[in-house]
Chains A and B, each alone.
Chain A
């Protein structure tokens, strides 16, 4: 960037100035009071306005031309303006800056009206039109920000104070700007705000307690499982008790039946005993009958002998065995036989009986004995007949009795089987005991049934509801946790990006700072011969010069001035400031030695100016600075030489080209003119 032309109207003593500066190195020389400082102030006012010119207030000088005010009291309006043409090579732009203000001159007093500052920008490529920026402060803030003013608009005589806090801040600003700190700070803040927002949102979600909710849910599920197991167990118990009770009830019913049957068994057993007795009796009778029959059979043999005897007796006529003679005689006397015959009337019978009595008397005892035996045989035979029948009867009775016994036995077996079936293998006592348990079982069954109902209808639904609620709560909290987790992740990423933004600009600042340090060290050591210094820019952006031992180097005022120049140039190179260097009294306090060194520095700087980094040096030098020796130091750079001259008739300063003719009265310029220098 270079200032190609400056036009000034009514700015202090510069009432009508049009200066062509279109060259890399311009020397605008002049004696003190001829307009150098006013020129620099005019440029400064054009760029930043009156408020940025405190030095003017210090010397109590107004902006408007005092001569105009004094010579034209009450004459109305005087326009004040400064216009700068800029060739902004780096941006391929031509720029025109114009600040103006109307002063109302009332008597000997001037009152400024409102300022107007317009920037017109046109691209150097042929197609573009001019863009008007009104007010133009934005353009200036972007390309010539006032915070860097000290690096291009300064007074050389003030350079001993160059490295003050303002410079440190300017270095800091410049480094930060080139390191894009604002951009990354904005990113850092943006992401930090986002992170804070996520954290706030997350904190609003609160502590989820999902783990507790999960525990509650799981414990409810466990409880539900246990209660369901209990229900199953109770149902089993109910079934078991029901079965038991059924058995008992059944047993109870069977017991009654069994009791009847058992009674029948008892009866049957009694009957069986009776039948057995009968059988035994029949047996005995039968056996007796058999014995008697056997005896009869034995007697029969006797009876056969008796029979034979009887037959013989009959044949012999002494048989039948006489009856009881006396009885027969009583019968004869009584006349009546038991057989119905009347012996009194039946003579034959009477005679027969009498004959019989006679025979019997004659037969004597033998007949009687035979008669007795025969009588016995007859009785026995009769008895045999009876006994034979008795044996048969007894046998039949025995058979009957045996059948009866068998029947009773069979009946008993049947009854016992029935009882066994009825009592399911239990004894009647056991069955009765079971029956006695009915009430207890009923109570137990009722208890189990009640428990089943309680578990099924109350407890399980209640626990299910609680578990469901716990699950919902857990899911809700889990969802909240997921949300929280996402927010946390977002926060972490936002924080990381915020942190990374910070790291980027910190590292960028460090690189720029290091580059600046290296540039300053290199340039400074190049022009300060003999010593080797190390430049450090500390955390406060103070530019420190250290000796080889690492301690702060004690620089002379001249060295400090050179250090200032080195910094301004290094800033242009490293930080990319495009400003022209517009310095008032640039060599004022430098010794010839340091002027040589500065010359060397600036020569190198100007020589390095090319199309990509166009720049410019405008030195405003008084007669003590710009000497033939100074001229020689820069002659190779072909500087543009201009001078301020006081135009006495108009009481204003004007600019001429070349060396101020008045200076040729000085011996050095005389010598130069004479070719001696």
Chain B
């Protein structure tokens, strides 16, 4: 059974067959979305992902 508590976004993200980095990014994105953040916050997250990819 999917209760509303169990059917939280993080659970679905965790269970989804998507890249690991996207999992983390989407979890953070959900928080940004729920906090009503603007595009700048999402862009920051994207930039952060780029920077993490550029780490040796």
The answer, among B3, B13, B46, B47, for a CB contact under 8 Å with A504, is: B13
Q: How large is the interface on A (under 10, 10 to 19, 20 to 34, 35 or more residues)?
A: 35 or more
User: How far is B2's CA from A254's CA once the two chains are assembled, in angstroms?
Assistant: 116
Q: Is B19 an interface residue (CB 8 A)?
A: yes
Instruction: Decide: B22 and A576 in contact? CB cutoff 8 A.
Output: no
Q: Do A574 and B2 form a contact, CB below 8 Å, given A194-B46, A503-B17, A504-B12? A: yes
Contact code string A501-519 (vs B, CB < 8 Å = 1, else 0):
1011101100110010001
A490 touches which of B4, B9, B18, B50 (Cβ 8 Å)? B50
A194-B39, A496-B22, A508-B16 known; A613 and B3 CB under 8 Å? yes
Contact B50 A500 (CB under 8 A): no
Main SS at interface, chain A: helix
- A178–B1 Cα gap in the complex (Å)? 11
B7 and A493 within 8 A (CB) = no
Q: Given A500-B26, A503-B17: A490 and B2 within 8 A (CB)? A: no
- With A500-B19, A500-B22 already in contact, the answer to whether A508 and B12 are too (CB < 8 A) is yes
Known contacts A180-B9, A576-B7: A515-B1 contact under CB 8 Å: yes
A-B contact count (CB 8 A): 95
- Docked Cα-Cα span, A515 to B6, in Å, equals 13
A170 within 8 A of B: no
Structural contact, A180 and B19, CB atoms closer than 8 A: no
Question: How would you classify the secondary structure of chain B's contact residues: helix, strand, loop or mixed?
Answer: helix
Contact of B39 among A178, A190, A496, A497 (CB under 8 A): A190
Binding site for B on A (CB under 8 A): 90, 178-180, 183-184, 186-187, 190-191, 193-194, 197, 486, 489-490, 493-494, 496-497, 500-501, 503-505, 507-508, 511-512, 515, 519, 573-576, 612-613
Query: Would you list 13 pairs from A and B whose C-beta atoms are within 8 A, ordered by A residue?
Result: A190-B33, A190-B39, A191-B42, A194-B39, A493-B46, A493-B49, A497-B22, A497-B26, A500-B19, A504-B18, A508-B16, A515-B2, A574-B1
Q: Which 10 A-B pairs have the closest CB atoms?
A: A500-B22, A508-B12, A504-B16, A500-B18, A576-B4, A178-B7, A507-B16, A493-B46, A573-B1, A576-B3
Where the two chains meet, the residues of B that have a C-beta atom closer than 8 Å to any C-beta of A are 1-4, 7-9, 12-13, 15-19, 22-23, 25-26, 29-30, 33, 39, 42-43, 46-47, 49-50
14 new A-B pairs (CB below 8 Å) besides A178-B2, A496-B19? A179-B7, A179-B12, A180-B8, A190-B39, A191-B42, A194-B43, A497-B25, A497-B26, A500-B18, A500-B19, A500-B23, A500-B25, A575-B2, A612-B3
